[in-house]
Structure 1
């Protein structure tokens, strides 16, 4: 009995380690969420239907949309973007296709129906242990996205954020990585440095004298090795923090706010975002401005497409 428990634990840890190791593909600050998004989509299908299987037709539609929405801006088509993880995840040892096709090629995928799914042993383990599936989803979403976006990603793939984000915390050391700890004082220092108001719109709400609705936002995401340093932070209201992390808003090297051409709105409230375009960041004297290297990272890996015309 004890031997079976030890074996099950070892298998569970080994699977989580392989999933956590996907972060190793993110070198030099490069975002590579394609495979994690495919795994999350498959986990959502497994939870909803009891099977992770999806056809290439389903993957190119659903996965392509996820990559466009939550991945970095790309010049490749949604179909090509989906073909990369759908074919290449096989090399990570827990994804199989029912027909052998070349890596990255869209043409062969369209010739005959192709279905991808978790390896049988992996699917069996995830089906038998929902907590393992939730821990795997948590490891993926927290390792590749900031807190503002993680719930959106989980909802988009059909998983419940409240369940996943409260699952047992994956052990980062399983992947051979040193766990990074957030600086508990960083949030307070950033908000104070920006006079407890949004660096974009100036919102400075308080409730009984306490700041409310203002976040400390990383320019380069903490999940992607962004440091808890003064020059990697902005105080932003909750709305503009979300839009900054989703790539709707950005900041150029002259510290001017940019609005992405991909953003559209019809109501006065939504169109008010356009008014931010071209504004300069204003802070009290002595406040550390975001470093060029972090602004360049955000522009390359988060900001969507091009900024609005001046």
Structure 2
């Protein structure tokens, strides 16, 4: 590999003045984490050229590494994204950056990509932490690949109820991968907005306000088809699961009469009977069969009161 590029990677300008732990070789790990995230993006296909956007995918990858290794220590992805501008292979332009052509061409090739990843892991992390980071990268790749597989389901006829065969004895890790893959495939289609209130919030730490919520619960349907999903903020996800509202097949919101009872403190006038936000790609619009299932459960719940 080009000695100049190796020199770039081994001599990142990192902060060593703060009390950084031994796990990150007593220096700020921001830049190595961001470069590992860029490598993941190229490997997984959501970075297709050397024009690097400060995207939700890049933020998600960065904060997965950060949270696992640095715990509750706060940071912002903008710190390395902008500070990398001082390195010879990175040019920042507001919320976008350009990666050096030579380095990008190397990262497109698996053997060189693994070499670059190895340089970063050996130079900026101790052995135990490097092993953890490899595992995080592999899990991230698995989640991304699984989310792409789920997205391919929208090309076929919607089937509400799937077989439970082989789906109840998976490991905790596999269940986490499945859940995160589904959530990712749904939230991406709504651009991280809540379908009910249109809220979109991403914290400086990369946390988002929305979940990828199942319409027919997975425990009932075993169905991770994105059309069995809807992007909802934490409040509206809980309310949906508790049958405090439902979404009709024409995508309008039917609120529970419970919310109009005396003593309740929620303004529902601005969402009652309005249409939910739908994905721009019509292939991902919630399936009528799934919505009708939730409508029935909504009705059964209120009839039982």
Structure having greater relative contact order (Cα 8 Å, sep ≥ 6):
1
Q: TM-score, normalised by structure 2?
A: 0.39
Q: TM-score, normalised by structure 1?
A: 0.38
Q: For the pair shown, which has the larger CA radius of gyration, 1 or 2?
A: 2
